[in-house]
Structure 1
Amino acid sequence: MDTYFVGSRASNLAKAQVREYLAPLRQRFPGIAFTHRVILEGGDKDRKSLLSDISAVSGGSAFSSEQEAALARGDVDVVIHSLKDLPTANPPGLVLVPPPGREDARDALCGSTLAGLPKGASVGTGAPRRIAQLLAVRPDIEVVPIRGNVPPRLKKIETMGLDAVVLAVAGLRRLGLDDAIGEILPVDLFPPSPGQGALGIQVREESSAIQEILSTSGDPAVDAQVRAERALLAELHGGCSVPVGAYAEVRADGSLSLYAQVTSLDGTRQVSGSLSGPLGEPEKLGEALAGELIGQGARSILGEIRAEAAV
């Protein structure tokens, strides 16, 4: 029996994503053994430092660098990421294969609804995009920085006396925590991180055999959606630590539509736009919309954020 080693982070969510992805493959290929291996990331080991600082030390992402290094060394044959955690450029020798069906990409407010938050409410989130979007809609609230896996962040509503926390719907649903959702936030005001809700399936470029096996699980529509979102992010020279939201969907006529938004950290400046294009040209769509946002001042907003972070 052939054996392939599959790497992921150690969280319950990461393990749930591995089970979700491997279940149909195990049925489709009963003669292949898929063995899971846990890989600790810098962002998992260090819960106090800024994610940007951890990323700077690792030379990549706080939530993907160790897994990518293990894949490049041959310690594992596949890595299953949350796609939103991956930089837009693959390390040399590594590639992404088309992901399977996407879970709900939106964000959720847990503990309250947006309208139900009292004036001056405390809302927990550590993501710059979520902070910026919250302040753009509700400048009166106090954003409290929190980090950690999904269940511990939910518990901070009680342990820290927060009015609410913002989490990804996908993570909540994959962990069976749908009941914690107070309100799913609308995409027009809170577009998610590029790739949110989708899995990032990464392999070595040279591994044609495993690529052929994994290709049977790929969803072409989801692949086009996330490629458009990530192309936009790449064109803006952004990453998971900047307040860029993007969401693509396939229309009834078969075209691909993309909506995106860039917001200053204090929520006072915001640019947004949308475009549609052929399903087969997602990168062109992402790059074109990024150009429109740059024309509206997106690069200025992101430049100010990077300058603040460098101080």
Structure 2
Amino acid sequence: MSRTLRIGTRASALALWQANWVKQELEKKYPDLTVTLTKIKTQGDKILDVPLAMVGGKGLFVKEIQEAMLRNEIDIAVHSMKDVPTFFPEGTGLRCITEREDPRDIAVLKEGVTSFSEIRQNGRIGTSSLRRKAQLLNMRPDLEMVDIRGNVQTRISKLESDNLDAVILAAAGMHRLGFGDQIGEYFEAKTCLPAIGQGALGLESRIDDDVTNELIDFFNHPPTAYAVTAERAVLSTLEGGCQVPIAAFGTVEGDQLELTALVSDVEGKQMIKKTVTCHVDQSYETGVALAKQLLEEGAGPILNEVYGCQTFEEKE
């Protein structure tokens, strides 16, 4: 029996690539299924002249899509996992996490510069991410961090327009959009920890929509889901409502998960970083425990300073 499945997505080039990939996979698996895309403008798409950390960070790119789902205007939403808050409106939930693309951060370098280490003293680096800023300043305190917003092409164009020495982006987006040949350098994930969920896609749906949920379940990739679940547990334990220099990255080998997480001040001067391992069945609990370890080792005062409030109790 033929039916239609409606995908909600942002209208950026990367979001449309991701939604179209999901559409193609669904049509390949279910030849009788008609899949449509509904483009939805989110608050994050409208506010382009303010750093993300100042306007709320996570949730900016999903709220309007979730509202459309609750109004039954769409059946599923395709999100970049690093944009997805750790909580969902009542009635919707994260159904699938896809296999991860390359999770690393990359640098697009100014013409004539062949590596990040070659960037001149006090070089200008374009990024809107406090997480990236903190880790890069920890490596190179001399660098000047310049806030940039916009889609991938817009950010790359700022190398010239804003006289930057490098622009820092996610490898996954560069690969998906066919810009891989512009990558000047990859940062190893352990050197520059990625954003929570970076490289993976999340499929959100209505919890009670059994037919749709059964259709999309094949997208779930257990090793990625275990890793991202652990990363998101770190975030949900530490998060106070806005974008902060928190990072976590999990990798799965067999039934073992290795999870690294860090908390830093914005300048990268105070950084607490730890790695733990566990069985994949303990992914969520291990993420929570690792976040609590970070707090016990001094992350609380760092986060309080970033949040500008007493979110976390001081540890004796």
> TM-score normalised to the size of structure 2?
0.93
Task: State the distance in 2 between where 1:27 and 1:240 align.
Answer: 39
Deviating beyond 6 angstroms after TM superposition, the runs of 4 or more aligned structure 1 residues are none
When residues 239 and 273 of structure 1 are mapped into structure 2, their CA distance, relative to the original with a 3 A threshold, is: farther
One-letter code of the match for 1:259? T
Tell me the equivalent position of 1:43. Answer: 44
Task: State the distance in 2 between where 1:92 and 1:244 align.
Answer: 26
Aligned with 1:230 (options 229, 232, 239):
232
One-letter code of the match for 1:122? R
- After the TM superposition, which residues 110-121 of structure 1 pair with which residues of structure 2 at under 5 Å, given as runs? 110-111=108-109, 112=113, 113-121=115-123
Task: State the distance in 2 between where 1:19 and 1:52 align.
Answer: 29
Structure 1 residues not aligned, in runs of 5+? none
Tell me the equivalent position of 2:312. Answer: none
Task: State the distance in 2 between where 1:128 and 1:274 align.
Answer: 21
One-letter code of the match for 2:45? D
State the Cα deviation string for residues 8-59 of structure 1 (Å, max 9, x = none).
1110000111122222221111111110110001111121234345449xxx
Tell me the equivalent position of 1:125. Answer: 127
Deviation at 1:303, TM superposition (A): 1.0
Where 2:97 maps in the other structure, the secondary structure is coil
Deviation at 1:240, TM superposition (A): 6.5
When residues 52 and 137 of structure 1 are mapped into structure 2, their CA distance, relative to the original with a 3 A threshold, is: closer
Tell me the equivalent position of 1:2. Answer: 3
- Are 1:109 and 1:182, in contact at CA under 8 Å, matched by a contact in 2? yes
One-letter code of the match for 1:103? E
Tell me the equivalent position of 1:279. Answer: 280
> TM-score normalised to the size of structure 1?
0.94
- Are 1:100 and 1:199, in contact at CA under 8 Å, matched by a contact in 2? yes
When residues 239 and 272 of structure 1 are mapped into structure 2, their CA distance, relative to the original with a 3 A threshold, is: farther
Tell me the equivalent position of 1:76. Answer: 74
Task: State the distance in 2 between where 1:73 and 1:52 align.
Answer: 29
Task: State the distance in 1 between where 2:130 and 2:197 align.
Answer: 16
Aligned with 1:97 (options 80, 95, 98):
95
Query: Which stretch shifts more, 105-114 or 224-233?
Result: 105-114
- Are 2:240 and 2:307, in contact at CA under 8 Å, matched by a contact in 1? no
Where 1:95 maps in the other structure, the secondary structure is strand
Aligned with 1:148 (options 142, 147, 150):
150
1:159 aligns with 2:161: yes
One-letter code of the match for 1:173? H
Task: State the distance in 2 between where 1:191 and 1:138 align.
Answer: 16
State the Cα deviation string for residues 195-242 of structure 1 (Å, max 9, x = none).
011101110111111111110121111111110000111011256711
Where 2:163 maps in the other structure, the secondary structure is coil
One-letter code of the match for 2:166? A
Tell me the equivalent position of 1:192. Answer: 194
Task: State the distance in 2 between where 1:238 and 1:232 align.
Answer: 12
Where 1:281 maps in the other structure, the secondary structure is helix
One-letter code of the match for 1:242? V
Task: State the distance in 2 between where 1:24 and 1:67 align.
Answer: 21
- Are 1:233 and 1:239, in contact at CA under 8 Å, matched by a contact in 2? no
Q: Percent identity?
A: 36
When residues 82 and 129 of structure 1 are mapped into structure 2, their CA distance, relative to the original with a 3 A threshold, is: same
Where 2:118 maps in the other structure, the secondary structure is coil
- Are 2:106 and 2:169, in contact at CA under 8 Å, matched by a contact in 1? yes
Deviation at 1:302, TM superposition (A): 1.1
Tell me the equivalent position of 2:83. Answer: 85
Task: State the distance in 1 between where 2:278 and 2:264 align.
Answer: 24
Tell me the equivalent position of 1:262. Answer: 263
Where 1:62 maps in the other structure, the secondary structure is coil
State the Cα deviation string for residues 127-178 of structure 1 (Å, max 9, x = none).
1111111111110010011001111000100111100010000000000100
Tell me the equivalent position of 1:134. Answer: 136
Task: State the distance in 2 between where 1:95 and 1:43 align.
Answer: 21
- After the TM superposition, which residues 207-218 of structure 1 pair with which residues of structure 2 at under 5 Å, given as runs? 207-218=209-220
- Are 2:135 and 2:268, in contact at CA under 8 Å, matched by a contact in 1? yes
Where 2:116 maps in the other structure, the secondary structure is coil
Deviation at 1:102, TM superposition (A): 0.8
State the Cα deviation string for residues 43-100 of structure 1 (Å, max 9, x = none).
11121234345449xxx72111111111111111100011101111111111111222
Task: State the distance in 1 between where 2:99 and 2:241 align.
Answer: 23
Tell me the equivalent position of 2:180. Answer: 178
Task: State the distance in 1 between where 2:22 and 2:262 align.
Answer: 30
Structure 2 residues not aligned, in runs of 5+? 310-316
Q: How many residues align?
A: 305
Q: CA RMSD in A?
A: 1.7
- Are 2:44 and 2:61, in contact at CA under 8 Å, matched by a contact in 1? yes
Aligned with 2:243 (options 241, 244, 266):
241
